[in-house]
Structure 1
Amino acid sequence: MENDLIDDSGFELGMPTRVEMLKHQCTLLCAELETTRQDLRKAHQNIAKPIVMHRDSSTGLAMLKVEHERLEWTLNDMYNRERDRKVVRMGDAYGDTHCKNHNHLAAVNPFKAVLHSP
């Protein structure tokens, strides 16, 4: 029949059996599975680099935070010592003795008087 509405080319040898169709479906699924595995391997390789970078930057950030905290304490200590020196100088300028200034420091912060006592 030349003017059929349904194209039946490819079926010259007849319809495939159910077993043949299932084998073909398995072959297609195996090929798809292999492609998915390759894509997954590539994705693991791509994601490994940012994970290592994040781990390294987190370690570096933690070290920087510790250093920042240490520098902050050092700067605060230097500032407090300089402020205490200025208080002593002002006391000397107005005729106060060091002992009075240390008592003033003890009233503000008892630990300062211990640190700066003669």
Structure 2
Amino acid sequence: MDLRQLTEEYIKYFSQKNLSKIIQLFHSPECYLSDPDNVFYGAEEIEREICRLFEFDILFEPQSIHVCEASNTSFVEFKIQIDDIFLEGMDIIEWKSDKICALRAYVVPSNDKKIHGDKTT
């Protein structure tokens, strides 16, 4: 399976809150998940954190997927609503043998974005 397909599977499972399928994508035991405040090592810790996150009312909206085959890395830009908090962010996913070995999640509040100049498209 190519990186784009693997990344799309991760997005699908996350959007469905399918914890068991998400955890199957992680390369255990040397995998890790990091967010702005924490780092979780190993599938058990990652599962615990994602389970905690899924306790909230979540709306996950992927915006774009970028894949770098040379470095086995995919990038997912997204918007996410957790209860009444609106965030934008990026997941940087490193793959090894079709499994996630590292997932780094970066998020910022959506209302922190400042727009400068005129948007022309």
TM-score range, shorter chain: under 0.3
Query: Which structure carries more helix by proportion?
Result: 1
**Higher relative contact order by CA 8 Å / sep ≥ 6: 1 or 2?**
2
Rg larger in structure:
1
**TM-score computed with the length of structure 2 as normaliser:** 0.19
**TM-score computed with the length of structure 1 as normaliser:** 0.20
